Amino acid sequence: MITERFHIAVPTAFNEDESLNINLTLTHIENLYKNSIKSVMVCGSTGEQHSLSLDEKIELLNALENSYLIDEMERIFGVSSIREKEAVYLAEKISKTKISGILLGFSPYILPSQHEAIIYANNIIEKANKDVIIYNNPGRTGFDLTTDSIKELLKNRLIVGLKEAGNPQKINQLKKEMKNNNFYFYAGGEVNLAEKIKLGFNSLSSMCGNIEPILVRNYFNSLYENSSTQDNDLKKVKILIEEVFKTSPISKIKHILNKNKNTIGVCRKPLGN
C-alpha cells in the first residue's frame, strides 16, 4: 500500500564492467532509511530501468524482498518494458512480494496508440494487484498519455497516483474533475517544484534526495504545507538542484555520491561518458 507523499527514486548500482551490483544498491537504500526516509522507488528512470534485463529486474526484486528493509519502508518498484509480455511477467512476480506498489511506465520508442497503452496498463495492473502510480514521461518515452486516457485508467481503483513529467497543466484539469482528494500527483524531480505545487502537485518523486535526503524532504514539506524554509537551507537546495540537473542527472547523482564516499558505482554507457 502506498501512503507516503515523498519518495526517493534511487539509482541502481553497477560495477566497473557495468554488471549489476545489488549489494551497493541495497546499501544506498539502507543509508536513506538511516536518514529517516520512509519510501523509495526502485528500478525507475533514475534506476536506469531500461538498461536492465528482465532477469536483472527480478534479481533486484528478490534481493529487496529478502532485505530487512522490506518491512521497514514503503517500497515502490518500477514496471515498464518495450515488450508488454515482460512487463506483465514482472508484475506477476511483484504480486507475490511485500512490495508496496508499482510505478507503471509506458513503453519507450515504439509509440503505442492511446488505446494500446490503456490495454498495456490494465494488463499490468491486473497481474500486479498492487497500488499503482501511473508514470507519464513523454520526454523519455516519446509517448504522451492524454488527459482522456488518464481519466479512463483512473476507473481502476488500484491507481492511487500519477507521476506527470509531461504537461504540468494536466494536473489542474484532472483535479477539477476528480472526487478523490487522497490522490497523489507526483512531480518528477525538483525542477520548478514550487510552481508545480501551485498547479496542484501534492507529492514528490525525488532525485536530489539521494544526495541530501533530509534537506530535500524538508524543502518539499515546506512547499506542500506552505510554510517557510530557512534562507540557508533554501540556498543549499537551489544550488543542489542546479548542480544535479544542469547535465545528465543520473550521472551527476552517482558522481556526487561516489565523491562523498557513498559508493553507488558507474552508469551504463552512454550515460557517464
The domain that contains 186 carries what CATH number? Answer: 3.20.20.70
Residue 236 lies in a domain: yes
> What is the predicted pLDDT for the residue at 252?
97
> What is the predicted pLDDT for the residue at 228?
76
Residue 205 lies in a domain: yes
> What is the predicted pLDDT for the residue at 17?
98
Residue 151 lies in a domain: yes
> What is the predicted pLDDT for the residue at 227?
83
247 labelled ligand-binding:
no
- The stretches in the chain having pLDDT less than 50 are none
The closest alpha carbon to 39, from 5, 77, 7, belongs to: 7
The total of structural domains in the chain comes to 1
C-alpha cell at 75: 517500497
Provide the 8-state DSSP code for 188: E
Provide the 8-state DSSP code for 43: S
Supply the range of the domain harboring residue 209: 6-260
> What is the predicted pLDDT for the residue at 220?
97
> What is the predicted pLDDT for the residue at 197?
95
Residue 83 lies in a domain: yes
> What is the predicted pLDDT for the residue at 230?
78
Residue 138 lies in a domain: yes
Residue 140 lies in a domain: yes
> What is the predicted pLDDT for the residue at 57?
98
Residue 1 lies in a domain: no
> What is the predicted pLDDT for the residue at 179?
76
- Which residues are catalytically annotated? 135, 163
The two most distant CA atoms of the chain are separated, in Å, by: 50
> What is the predicted pLDDT for the residue at 134?
99
